[in-house]
Chains A and B, each alone.
Chain A
Amino acid sequence: DAKTTQPTSMDCAEGRAANLPCNHSTISGNEYVYWYRQIHSQGPQYIIHGLKNNETNEMASLIITEDRKSSTLILPHATLRDTAVYYCIVRNAGGTSYGKLTFGQGTILTVHP
């Protein structure tokens, strides 16, 4: 699976949008971009994923550049409960990888009052 690069940490004010970048310059055509987050001492939580098009759900929006080499996760109105480690993961659609998730170091997002 392609590797990802994320900033180590980011801050955001409560109520503002949090924009978390991710670089995945070696992504291949059948690899999806996934975002998970892990709140302290809990299991990771799925947020969103996409292949080529931008995606939106009730939690977040995912913007993928046209060349697919980078993406941005947007939390539109961050709250204190969004403080967590955010993982951007590039994941092969199938084959012998069996849906393997390979976590990088992630971005520690801290939302301030």
Chain B
Amino acid sequence: DTEVTQTPKHLVMGMTNKKSLKCEQHMGHRAMYWYKQKAKKPPELMFVYSYEKLSINESVPSRFSPECPNSSLLNLHLHALQPEDSALYLCASSQVSDGRREQFFGPGTRLTVL
């Protein structure tokens, strides 16, 4: 299995809602990543988890809360989002978190905040 899966595919939420995005991989990878991609822009890194520990937070607002419950699963909890947070949220994984190993990306969750 060489796939990263993300659910849901699409999500529409209001500014007062709480929702979660889920990402799963069964490749035995020990590094997982969240990226945000606005329309017609390149992906931007948000968080890096290495061996289930948060290694990088790219100064992401606290309304985004990542969680890595185990080595196969990565969540992104959303609360009190703004319309400008509407974007494609991409999850990725790699064997380890160093530059010698490629990252495998999921298809993304397209989020719309009303």
Contacts and interface: CB of A to CB of B under 8 A. Distances in A.
Interface of A: 30-32, 34, 38, 42-46, 49, 87, 91-94, 97-106
Contact of B103 (A46, A94, A97, A102): A46
Contacts of A99: 31, 48, 94, 96-99, 101, 103
Q: Which one of A98, A100, A104, A106 has the greatest number of beta carbons of chain B within 10 Å?
A: A98
A43 B90 contact: yes
A98 B56 CA distance: 8
Contact of A44 (B50, B90, B97): B90
Given A98-B31, A98-B55, A100-B45, A34 B98 contact: no
Nearest to A100: B45
A93 B99 contact: yes
Q: Looking at chain B, what size class is its interface with the partner chain?
A: 20 to 34
Top 8 A-B pairs ranked by shortest CB distance? A43-B105, A103-B42, A46-B102, A93-B99, A91-B99, A98-B97, A94-B98, A99-B97
A45 B105 contact: yes
B5 to A, nearest CB: 11
A100 B98 CA distance: 8
Interface string B37-60: 000001111001010000110000
A15 to B, nearest CB: 28
B81 to A, nearest CB: 21
Contacts of A91: 99
B99 A32 contact: yes
Contacts of A93: 98-100
A93 B104 CA distance: 17
13 contacts: A32-B99, A34-B102, A42-B107, A93-B98, A98-B31, A98-B55, A98-B56, A98-B97, A99-B94, A99-B103, A100-B48, A103-B44, A105-B42
